[in-house]
Amino acid sequence: MITLFWATALFILLGMLLCLYRAVAGPGVFNRVAAVNVIGTKTTVLLVVMGYYFERPYFFDIALLYAMINFIGTLVFAKYLERGELWS
Amino acid sequence: MVIVYGVVTALLGAGVFFTLVGSIGLLRFPDFYTRLHATGKCDTLGGGLVILGAMIYHLFQYSGTLLVIAKLAFLVFFIFIANPTATHAIMKAAYKAGVEPWCLGEERR
Say yes or no for a CB contact (<8 Å) between B46 and A35. no
Provide CB contacts within 8 A for A38, sequence distance 6+.
A19, B22, B23, B26, B39, B43
Q: What pLDDT score does B63 carry?
A: 76
Closest CB from A15, A52, A70 relative to B54: A52
Within 8 A of B109 by CB-CB distance, chain A residues are 27
Distance from CA of B78 to the nearest CA of A (A): 8
Q: Indicate if the pLDDT at residue A87 is higher than 90.
A: no
First CA to last CA across chain B, in angstroms?
Answer: 50
- ipTM at complex level: 0.89
Q: Indicate if the pLDDT at residue A85 is higher than 80.
A: no
> Which of the four pLDDT bands, split at 50, 70 and 90, describes residue A6?
very high
pLDDT in tens, chain B (109 residues): 889 999 999 999 999 999 999 999 999 998 889 999 999 899 999 999 999 999 999 988 887 788 889 999 999 999 999 999 999 999 999 998 888 888 887 777 7
Residue A63 CA, distance from chain mean position: 10
Report the C-alpha gap between B71 and B22 in whole angstroms: 26
Q: Which helix (H) or strand (E) holds B45?
A: helix B32-61
The predicted model scores a pTM of 0.90
Residue A87 CA, distance from chain mean position: 26
Closest CB from B26, B46, B57 relative to A22: B26
On the 0-12 / 13-18 / 19+ scale of CB atoms within 10 A, A3 is: exposed
Q: What pLDDT score does B53 carry?
A: 93
Q: Indicate if the pLDDT at residue A88 is higher than 70.
A: no
**DSSP per position, A3-70:** HHHHHHHHHHHHHHHHHHHHHHH-SSHHHHHHHHHHHHHHHHHHHHHHHHHTT-TTHHHHHHHHHHHH
Among A2, A5, A10, A37, the strongest candidate for a mutation testing the B interface, having the largest count of B CBs within 10 A, is: A37
The domains of chain A are located at 2-15+28-83
Say yes or no for a CB contact (<8 Å) between B90 and A37. yes
Closest CB from A21, A52, A71 relative to B86: A71
pLDDT tens profile A16-70: 999 999 999 878 899 999 999 999 999 999 999 999 899 888 899 999 999 999 9
Give me the residues of A, 26-45, that contact B with CB < 8 A: 27-28, 30-31, 33-35, 37-38, 41-42, 44-45
Instruction: Assess B2–A contact: CB distance below 8 Å, yes or no.
Output: no
